[in-house]
A and B are shown apart, each in its own frame.
Chain A
Amino acid sequence: MSNRTLQRYNDRERMNHWVVALLFVLAGLSGLAFFHPSLFFLSTFLGGGVWARILHPFLGVAMFLSFAGLFVRLWRENILTEADKEWTRHSADMLRGDKSKMPPVGKYNAGQKGVFWIMSISLAVLLVTGIIFWQPWFANAFPIVLRRIAVLLHAAAAVALILGTIMHVYAAIWVKGTIRAMTRGTVTEAWAKQHHTLWHQEMTGKREGQ
C-alpha cells in the first residue's frame, strides 16, 4: 500500500503554482530592494534600480493574475470550518513534534488554509495599493495623501505575503513527502493517510467505488 500514490494536483495546477512562485521571487527581490537600504543590492538581479522599478509592478500584476488562477481552483477547499479550530488549538503541540493530538483533516489543514487566505488577501491589497502609486502610469491620478497610505499598506501587505510564503515553504520542507505534490502531482497513500486522513478516505473511497 505504501507504494501507491494519489493524485493531489493536476499538471495545470502545478504549472500555475510554479508560475506564481517564479513571479513571487522576482517581484519579491525587486520589492525588497526598495523596502530597506540593506536590501537595495537585490535590485541588481533585475538589472539595477531603474529596471527594478520599471519591472516590479508588471511582475506584481502578473503574479496577481496567475494567483487568481489558483484561487479560482482552490478557494472552496480552503474555507475555514469549525473543525479547523480544534487543529489550530493543537498546532503548538505539533510544532513541538507531537502530532498525536491533531484531529484528522481534509485536503488542507487550518495552517494551509490560513496561508492561502494570507496570500489571497495580501495580493489583493498589493494590487490595489500598487496601482495607486505606479509611476508613471497611474500615480498622478491619485491625491498624494492617498498615495502615502497606499505605500504604507503595500509594504505591510508585502511583509504579510513574504511571512506567509516562508511558512508555506518551510512546511513543505518540514513535512517529508510534501514537495512531490507540486513536482510530480502525486503523494504517497501513506503520506495522505498520515497528514490528510479525511482527504485520503475521500480519494480512496472514490477509487474503490469505481
Chain B
Amino acid sequence: MSSLQSLDIAKRSATTSPSTQARTHVTEVAKLIDVSSCIGCKACQVACMQWNDLRDEVGENHGSYDNPRDLTPQSWTVMRYSEVEVEENKLEWLIRKDGCMHCEDPGCLKSCPAPGAIVKYTNGIVDFISEHCIGCGNCVTGCPFDVPRISKADSKAYKCSLCSDRVGVGLEPACVKACPTGAIHFGSKEDMLDYGAERVADLKERGYGNAGVYDPQGVGGTHVMYVLQHADKPNLYHGLPENPSISPFVSLWKGIAKPLAVAAMAGAVVAGFFHYMKVGPIETKDDNTSDDSPKA
C-alpha cells in the first residue's frame, strides 16, 4: 500500500539500519477468523476485491466451491473448502479463509532483497510496497504459508495487506466489515486472543475437545489467527501447516551466510592489496644466463 506511515514501520526489507522508533505505544492488531462460525458465503472475498479494487478473471467450476482455486495477484483471500471425516461416518465441511497470516517474523520480508519493498508496521501488519518490488520472487520462497503471488502483467508480488490503509485510519479490514456471521473479528491481538479463548471454551463444551486458537509460535505468532475445531490437526484445513517456521535454507542464506560471504569477498581483496604491498610483485628476471635450468 502506501508508505505514508513511515513513523509506523517496525521492520523494512533489505535494510540494515534501525527503523523509526519514535512511536513506542502502538497496539498490535490481529484478525481472528473463527472457522467454526464461517458459512463459506465468500462475502469476505467480494469485500476484498471491492475495497482493493481488484478484478480477477472469472474462473471455471472444478467440482468444488473453491473459486478461484488459488490465491492470485488479484485474489488476496480465497475460501478453502475441505470435506473431511475426522470421525468415521461424520462428515465435516471445514471452510478456511486463506490469505496472508501477517507473521510476527515474516519470511517474505527476511528473504526480500529490495530495500523497503516489504515492511512490517508497528501494529504487526506486513505490507508489500509495490513501487519498490523488483519481481524476483524471493518472498514466495521465504513465505512458510505459500501466500505471495507474482503478477504476470507487471512482475510485482501481491498479497493481503490486512487493509493497512483502512486500519491506519481506525477502520477494520474490509473482510471483517462484510462478514455476515461475525466469523471474522478484528482488534488488538490481546483482545483477539481473549475472544478466541472464549470461543475455544464454547467449542469444547460442544464436544470439540481439541478446539484451539492457531497462532503458530514458529513464526513468532501471527496477526491473522484462526479458531479451529481441530487445532491438533491444522492440516485438515486445506493443509494449514502444523508448525510453520521460516525454512532453515532461507534462515541460513539470509542469516549468517550473507555477512560472512561479504566479509570473505571484501577480505580477499584487502588481503591481496596488503600481500602486494608486503611481498611485492614477482618480476621477470632478465635471462642472461642462456640455457640454465630454472633458478634453484
Same complex for A and B? Answer yes
Known contacts A152-B253, A194-B285; is-contact A133 B265 (Cβ 8 Å): no
A39 B262 Cβ-Cβ under 8 A: yes
Of B200-208, B218-226, B244-252, the segment with at least 4 beta carbons within 8 Å of chain A is B244-252
Name B250's closest neighbour in chain A (CB-CB): A148
List chain A residues, Cβ under 8 A from B258.
35-36, 155
Of A81-89, A94-102, A106-114, the segment with at least 4 beta carbons within 8 Å of chain B is A94-102
Known contacts A149-B249, A162-B265, A194-B295; is-contact A144 B284 (Cβ 8 Å): no
Q: A2 contacts the other chain (Cβ, under 8 Å)? A: yes
List chain B residues, Cβ under 8 A from A100.
295-296
List chain A residues, Cβ under 8 A from B284.
176-177, 188, 190-191, 194
The docked-state distance in angstroms from the alpha carbon of A38 to that of B272 is 22
List chain A residues, Cβ under 8 A from B296.
100
B286 A2 Cβ-Cβ under 8 A: yes
Of A12-20, A60-68, A118-126, A167-175, the segment with at least 4 beta carbons within 8 Å of chain B is A167-175
B275 A135 Cβ-Cβ under 8 A: no
Q: Name the residue among B253, B259, B262, B276 with the largest chain A CB count within 10 angstroms.
A: B253
Name A198's closest neighbour in chain B (CB-CB): B294
A53 CB to closest chain B CB (Å) equals: 5
A64 CB to closest chain B CB (Å) equals: 19
A175 B285 Cβ-Cβ under 8 A: no
Of B94-102, B138-146, B172-180, the segment with at least 4 beta carbons within 8 Å of chain A is B138-146
Q: For this complex, into which size category does the number of interface residues on chain B fall?
A: 35 or more
B287 A189 Cβ-Cβ under 8 A: yes
List chain A residues, Cβ under 8 A from B187.
none
Q: B290 contacts the other chain (Cβ, under 8 Å)? A: yes
A53 B287 Cβ-Cβ under 8 A: no
Q: A69 contacts the other chain (Cβ, under 8 Å)? A: no
List chain A residues, Cβ under 8 A from B288.
2
Known contacts A174-B282, A189-B287; is-contact A35 B113 (Cβ 8 Å): yes
List chain A residues, Cβ under 8 A from B281.
173-176
Interface residues of B in 257-279 (CB under 8 A from A): 257-259, 261-262, 264-265, 268-269, 272, 275-276, 279
Q: A209 contacts the other chain (Cβ, under 8 Å)? A: no
Cβ 8 A contact of B247, one of A49, A139, A148, A163: A148
Q: B167 contacts the other chain (Cβ, under 8 Å)? A: no
B141 A135 Cβ-Cβ under 8 A: no
Of B60-68, B76-84, B129-137, B233-241, the segment with at least 4 beta carbons within 8 Å of chain A is B129-137
Cβ 8 A contact of A133, one of B132, B137, B285: B137
B152 A166 Cβ-Cβ under 8 A: no
B135 A197 Cβ-Cβ under 8 A: no
Per-residue CB contact flags for chain A residues 35-48 toward chain B (1 = under 8 Å, else 0) read 11111100100000
Name A56's closest neighbour in chain B (CB-CB): B136
List chain A residues, Cβ under 8 A from B132.
49
A135 B137 Cβ-Cβ under 8 A: yes
A136 B276 Cβ-Cβ under 8 A: no
- 25 A-B pairs with CB atoms under 8 Å apart are A2-B288, A34-B138, A40-B113, A40-B114, A40-B115, A49-B114, A49-B132, A50-B134, A50-B135, A53-B134, A95-B279, A96-B279, A99-B295, A133-B138, A136-B137, A147-B141, A151-B250, A155-B258, A170-B272, A175-B282, A176-B283, A190-B287, A194-B285, A194-B295, A197-B294
5 nearest A-B residue pairs (beta carbon): A49-B134, A34-B113, A190-B287, A148-B249, A170-B272
